[in-house]
Structure 1
Amino acid sequence: MQGKKFAAAATAALATCAVAHADELENNTVRTGYAKVRFHLQSGDLSGPPGTTPPGLRIDARDLDIFAISYERRLSDHWALQLQAGIPPTLTAVGAGAAAPVGTVAKARIWFPTAMVRYTIPGFSVVHPYVATGVTYTFFTGQEISPAYNAALQGTGSDIKLHSSWGAYARVGVEYPLDRQWRLNLEYSSFRLKTSAAVDTRTPGFGTITRHVDLKDAPGILGATIGYRF
């Protein structure tokens, strides 16, 4: 009798552990996919020492295609913590305003790793709509000025420094479970980008001339990803 009770207790304990383990297996999700970033860059005028910079020179940015990667940790039935990154795309800055004829003026790798808290809206059986908010840190690597910029400002070469910044990040989306582990996800996001650039141009007869431009934006990001829960 004691052996039967022990066996029953052990079976119940193992079943409980299995359920707990199965629940634990569904607390993590990894997503990969594609995202399109659309810029609406607001640029100040490029400024420098008096008499060195024509008025009305501004900057715009071309839209980006991104391979997105994110990790999510479920905190409860409706709340989750999400971390996202991706392969940093090359941001291409082009002339705007009086600088539009110049074309490409600079290129850089743009990084914006993001941490968010996500809330899944209850009451839906087929799809899972959600909202998320968090913070992103934008920084740049591989920054370089184009020959067209140097030619337009009569320089022999230039160095550029784009400053990093923190910004708010917001998202709305919907998730569709394909089965217990696989999910299809569609989302729209936006984040606050505010930075400035300093460009040092080596100019014959004048030495190095430093120019600045202020930039801000709230890029829109449309993404489609596939997720795996484990």
Structure 2
Amino acid sequence: MKKFTVAALALTTLLSGSAHAHEAGEFFMRAGPATVRPTEGAGGTLGHLNGFDVSNNTQLGLTFTYMATDNIGVELLAATPFRHKVGTGTTGDIATVHLLPPTLMAQWYFGDSSSKVRPYVGVGVNYTTFFDNDFNDNGKNAGLSDLSFKDSWGAAGQVGVDYLINRDWLIGASVWYMDIDTTANYKMGGVQHHDSVRLDPWVFMFSAGYRF
């Protein structure tokens, strides 16, 4: 019985305390590695070349969160530019694509402002812009040129958890799913093509955060 009481007290101490970093009016920033893992697909010519593939990529992720109440937060996800290799089973890697996917989320934090562990969920909107896209030598030798992608708007969902080390510092993990549908514009043998492309990535981020 004594061991059970000690364990219960330890658990209570873990889940609650006097950290108060997630309370109304607070602003905090998180930073850490963010990995984009596309669940890709394509139509048109790209979709018929024995498998369309977009590589994973990891960059520095940043989130900026404002707590409107003790349980409701507004978060902006930002990152350094992601760089993905694009290819097919028939051609191998044919291009490199750069993108930025800023995402604005409305969040619900479980627990209360004294909880040291704060799981949360979020829904929001993603905007993805593409730039510095180009075919490599492999793509150019196949007669491909003039690559561009249409910017994308889509929905996003999120789950995550923060652990408050003290009033100012926290560590956390978060996962987003983003609806990213675009159009790949390019020329093949001088003929213009417009292929639908689905990225729809999972984004994984582990972070350390600081309250301002």
TM-score tier, shorter chain, comes to: 0.7 to 0.9
> Following the alignment from structure 1 to structure 2, what is the Cα–Cα distance between the partners of residues 45 and 38?
22
After superposition, the Cα gap between the structure-2 partners of 1:23 and 1:168, relative to the gap in structure 1 and judged at 3 Å, is closer
SS in 2 for 1:77: coil
> Following the alignment from structure 2 to structure 1, what is the Cα–Cα distance between the partners of residues 186 and 53?
16
Aligned to 1:69: 62
Matched, 1:188 2:187: no
Unaligned runs of 5+ in 1: 1-21, 48-54
Quick one: which of 158, 179, 194 aligns to 1:212? Answer: 194
Please tell me the residue identity of whatever aligns with 1:109.
H
Aligned to 2:160: 173
Aligned to 2:39: 40
SS in 2 for 1:40: coil
Matched, 1:80 2:73: yes
Please tell me the residue identity of whatever aligns with 2:87.
V
* Cα offsets for 1:181-202 (capped at 9, x unmatched): 101011111110111101024x
After superposition, the Cα gap between the structure-2 partners of 1:130 and 1:226, relative to the gap in structure 1 and judged at 3 Å, is same
Quick one: which of 91, 101, 104 aligns to 1:112? Answer: 101
User: C-alpha displacement at 1:122, in angstroms?
Assistant: 2.1
> Following the alignment from structure 1 to structure 2, what is the Cα–Cα distance between the partners of residues 108 and 37?
13
Q: TM-score if structure 2 supplies the norm length?
A: 0.82
After superposition, the Cα gap between the structure-2 partners of 1:94 and 1:70, relative to the gap in structure 1 and judged at 3 Å, is same
User: C-alpha displacement at 1:35, in angstroms?
Assistant: 1.6
User: C-alpha displacement at 1:23, in angstroms?
Assistant: 10
User: C-alpha displacement at 1:45, in angstroms?
Assistant: 3.2
Please tell me the residue identity of whatever aligns with 1:107.
T
> Following the alignment from structure 1 to structure 2, what is the Cα–Cα distance between the partners of residues 75 and 226?
21
Aligned residues of 1:26 and 1:229 also touching (Cα < 8 A): no
After superposition, the Cα gap between the structure-2 partners of 1:23 and 1:78, relative to the gap in structure 1 and judged at 3 Å, is closer
SS in 2 for 1:149: helix
> Following the alignment from structure 1 to structure 2, what is the Cα–Cα distance between the partners of residues 25 and 42?
42
Aligned to 1:140: 130
Aligned to 2:86: 93
User: C-alpha displacement at 1:25, in angstroms?
Assistant: 10
* Cα offsets for 1:36-95 (capped at 9, x unmatched): 221221111317xxxxxxx92252100111210111111010011111111012121111
> Following the alignment from structure 1 to structure 2, what is the Cα–Cα distance between the partners of residues 77 and 161?
43
User: C-alpha displacement at 1:180, in angstroms?
Assistant: 0.5
Greater Rg over alpha carbons, structure: 1
How much identity, in percent, do the aligned residues show? 27
Please tell me the residue identity of whatever aligns with 1:78.
N
Q: Which deviates the most, 167-176 or 214-223?
A: 214-223
Aligned residues of 1:25 and 1:229 also touching (Cα < 8 A): no
Q: Which deviates the most, 167-176 or 115-124?
A: 115-124
How many residues are paired up? Answer: 190
Aligned residues of 1:169 and 1:191 also touching (Cα < 8 A): yes
> Following the alignment from structure 1 to structure 2, what is the Cα–Cα distance between the partners of residues 171 and 23?
18
Aligned residues of 1:36 and 1:64 also touching (Cα < 8 A): yes
After superposition, the Cα gap between the structure-2 partners of 1:140 and 1:23, relative to the gap in structure 1 and judged at 3 Å, is closer
After superposition, the Cα gap between the structure-2 partners of 1:134 and 1:149, relative to the gap in structure 1 and judged at 3 Å, is same
User: C-alpha displacement at 1:26, in angstroms?
Assistant: 6.3
RMSD: 2.3
